[in-house]
Structure 1
Amino acid sequence: MNYVYLGGIQILVKSTFKEGINCPIVINLSNKRFINAREGNLGIVEGNLSYTKLFFTYYPKYCISLKDADFNDALSLHFQIKRKDLFKPRNHIMSNYYQALYTVTNSNYGKVYKNKGMIEIDQECTGIARIVEAEVQQAQIPDEYEI
């Protein structure tokens, strides 16, 4: 087996405080193998833990070689709490749980979920969260090339 096909990752963030407290949060899923952080950005979810939880699924839809030098950096979660006045330092404001949906394969030519979006927010969280799509850059052919 040479590759891991990343079919999806489900992420649940749960607050450690009572319901109703305004706690805006930004969650960034990225691929830290890239030198440029902008290129490695997979997607951003903005939400609020005032309802105690935020649940979403991201579908990477690509393979990673098991021989990749930075294999462990292929999926990285970053959290930012927008309020600085909520908890004292060194207290845990939330817990998170994730599970990866993957396949180990010999080929980098696996089937993909063609009818799925890149990120889906759970129905319970649709009123308190929104997706900020990662910017997709268009390929451009340099002027000096002729076709």
Structure 2
Amino acid sequence: MSEDDIKVISKEDYQNEESSDQKIIFDNTIFEQIKGKELDLSVEKVLEIPTLRNWFKRQKDEYYVVSQKEHIIDCKYARGKAQIPILNKRIINKEIQDIIAKTPIKYVHLGGTEILIKAYFREGIDTPIELYLADDRIIHPIEKSVISAVRGNLIYQKFTFIIIANYSVAITDRNIDKSLVLYWKMSGIELAPGSKIFTARCKNLYILSTKHKVTARNKIDKIKI
């Protein structure tokens, strides 16, 4: 089957000077056929949990959303508290409007998120960076809001990791924009004001669903570097 044969619900590609966005929405009947495409973020590669993977395949009223957004980060945001929301309520509501579902879509299930950081400076500069994903709806105790954290270095100009969130959020949640947020802190280099320090590319897989499912698991390797 060629790419032209694959029928999708919605496909978008937008670019400007500061960012670029690509997104595709499709139902579970063609999910298997899209593997290997440019925006591949397949269940087998990202949601490497057999019980969760099988559940995704069994459900009928589910719609997979694979999105990719690239953010150009100014150097003034390199230190201290800086963030990028991964989910956007307005965008999710628009996606739901594009879907003709037999029953109302009530949940968004957070699957896999891949973060890729690329430096705007030469290789060989020791630049430690800390990244973590958090559920900012959890306000106390604050440490419980951290989904996963990782430390790395942009000495080789590039740093990437994948996180499996594996939880659902109600579409009616007023704080859905806070349910998955990227934070970072960087040191070792200081650029002149107005300089861009790195690009953060966030590739995300989530599922719009009519049912809420909780999948228990024991020990899962959440981060791959």
- TM-score w.r.t. the length of structure 2 is 0.50
4+ residue segments displaced more than 4 Å = 110-116
For structure 1, the 5+ residue unaligned runs are: 122-147
Q: Counterpart of 1:63 in 2: which secondary structure?
A: strand
Identify which of 195, 200, 204 aligns with 1:96. Answer: 200
Q: Distance in 1 between matches of 2:216 and 2:206?
A: 11
**Residue 119 of structure 1 aligns to which amino acid in structure 2?**
I
Matched residue, 2:133: 29
Contact kept in structure 2, 1:2 and 1:65, CA below 8 Å: yes
Matched residue, 2:181: 76
Identify which of 170, 175, 178 aligns with 1:65. Answer: 170
Q: Distance in 2 between matches of 1:113 and 1:4?
A: 19
Q: Distance in 2 between matches of 1:8 and 1:109?
A: 16
For structure 2, the 5+ residue unaligned runs are: 1-104
Q: How many residues align?
A: 120
Q: Distance in 2 between matches of 1:112 and 1:14?
A: 35
Q: Distance in 2 between matches of 1:119 and 1:14?
A: 18
Q: Distance in 2 between matches of 1:12 and 1:112?
A: 28
Q: Deviations over 1:98-137 (max 9, x none)?
A: 111111111111657888522221xxxxxxxxxxxxxxxx
Structure 1 residue 42: deviation in Å?
Answer: 0.9
Q: Counterpart of 2:155 in 1: which secondary structure?
A: helix
Contact kept in structure 2, 1:26 and 1:82, CA below 8 Å: no
Give matches, 1:1-147, under 5 Å.
1-36=105-140, 37-83=142-188, 85-109=189-213, 116-121=220-225
Q: Counterpart of 1:119 in 2: which secondary structure?
A: coil
Q: Distance in 1 between matches of 2:202 and 2:216?
A: 21
Q: Percent of pairs identical after alignment?
A: 28
Q: Counterpart of 1:33 in 2: which secondary structure?
A: coil
**Residue 51 of structure 1 aligns to which amino acid in structure 2?**
Y
Matched residue, 1:136: none
Contact kept in structure 2, 1:5 and 1:110, CA below 8 Å: no
**Larger RCO (CA under 8 A, 6+ residues apart):** 1
CA RMSD of aligned residues (A): 1.9
Q: Counterpart of 1:32 in 2: which secondary structure?
A: coil
More helix by share: 2
Structure 1 residue 65: deviation in Å?
Answer: 0.7
Q: Distance in 2 between matches of 1:10 and 1:99?
A: 5
